[in-house]
Structure 1
Amino acid sequence: KGHPYLTQKLCQIVATDKSVTRAAGVDRICEGIFFSSRARETENNLQHVRTLLLAKDKDHAALLDLYRQVRARKRIRDDDTNVLINTLRLSGLIRVLENYLWMRNRIYFRVFDRAWIEANMPNAEKRRQKAAFKRGFRRASAVAAVIIALIGGGFYWVLDGYYWKHVRYYNTYAKRLGIMEGVGELTRQQVRSRTVSYKFIREGRYNPLQKVQAVKGSGELAASQSTVKSIFGDQSKDKSTLG
C-alpha cells in the first residue's frame, strides 16, 4: 500500500493544476513537492520520518542498518518485540507483508536512499571530513605532479635541445645553402651492415652541426673520411665507435 497523506497531497495539487494533462506533468509535480532539495528538508511528512529515525534516544547505527537491509529487499521477519522494527513501522517507512518487512512506497525509497543512510550514520561527519581530506590531497598531488612534470619537462627540453650529444647516421650527405645535411637516415643496425655510413654529431638538438664523420660498420673512421674533410673541414679526430 501507499501512504494516505502523500497520496492526498499529490492528488490535491494535480487536481488544481490545469497544466497537468499527462503522466509527465504528475512526475514534474511529484519531483517538486517530494524530491527537490528544498522539499526533502521542509516537507512535513518527510520531516516527521526523519525526526523519528534520528531521535537522540535511538541506536542510530543499528536502526539505519536495519532500514538499509529492508531497503535492499533482504528478507527480514516482522517481530513485535523488536524495538528497531517498531520504530521503522512507526515512522511509516516500512509495512508488513506476509510477515516480512517491505518499503512502504517509492517516495520514501527515493528520498531516504543509500546516500541519506550513509550521511546520517554515526561518525558520518568524521567520514565526510576524511573523504574531503582525501579528495583535497588527491587534487593537490595531481597539481604537484603537473608542476613537477612541467619543470622536469623544461629541464629536459633545455638539456636535450642545447647540451646533450645527438648522433645520427645517414646513407650520404649534401650541402644546401652552405649547411651540411644528411640524406637517407639509417638505424644503427643498418650501419653495422654497411661499408661506409656518415655520422652527424650535434651537442644539443637545436645547435649547429658540430661534426660529420665517415665510419665503417664497426664504428671506426673510414678511409673516405678525407672526402668529408674536403667538404666540411677537418673534423675527423674523434675515434668514437658505435654505442
Structure 2
Amino acid sequence: MAEFVLVAGAWLGSWVWDEVLPPLRAAGHGTHPLTLSGLAEKQGAPAGQQTHVQDIVGEIERRGLRDVVLVGHSYSGIPVGQAAERIGDRLTRVVFVDSEVPVDGRSFASGWWQGPAALESLLADNGGYWPPLSADDLDGQGLTDEQVARLTKGFTPHPGATLTEPAVLARPLGELPTTYVKCLLDGPEPNDTVAGLLSSEHWRLVTMDTGHWPMVSQPAELARLLLAAAA
C-alpha cells in the first residue's frame, strides 16, 4: 500500500484535500495531507522556499513513511519536486496536479507572466505576501458557487519569500517517476518546462476536464487518478 503525502498550492492548507482522502483510505492507503509553513493554521510562521521543502521532507522522515506517492498542486509542485529527490528510495511516484515544477536556480517568480519584477512589486505592496484570489478570479474553473465560497473562505495570504527564492535540484527532474495531471479548463497544454519533461520515459501525462482546483471541483475523479498513479 502507498503512503500519499498531499501538498496544496498557494493560499491553501491541508483542508483542501478533505474530499479526496476517503477513496484513498478505502483502498487501504495511508493519507497525509500537509499544510506548509505560513499558510492556513500555520499563518505567521516564517517561510521561504527551502522551508517548504523541509516541511515536506521532515513530515515524511518524522512519520517514517516509505512507498510514498508525493502529490503537489499548483505552486507546491516546486517544493514537492525538490523534496521528491531528497527522500531517495522512500519515493514511489510524484504526482504534479496542474502545477509548477522546479527548475534549478529559478524561482516561482522567474516564470511570472508579467516578469519577476511585477510579482516582487505585488508582494512589496502587500506586506511581503501574495494576496489570495477573489471569487471573480475563479470563474470558468468548473466550480459551483458553493465550491467557490469554500475556497475563498479558506484562502490565506501566501508568504512571498517562498515565491522568490530559487529551487535547488541535484539531478534532472525528468529522472523521477512522475505523473502530470493537466486540468484542461485552466489551459489545454502544459507549460513549456513541463512539455519538455514529458518527453522523458519516466513521465506520463493524464488530463482532467475541470479547472485548476480538481480536489474541490472533481475530488472523486482526482482520487481515481491518484490511485491509478500508485498502482
Scaled by the length of structure 2, the TM-score of the pair is 0.19
Higher relative CO (Cα under 8 Å, sequence separation at least 6) belongs to 2
Q: Which has the higher helix share?
A: 1
Q: Normalising by structure 1, what TM-score?
A: 0.18
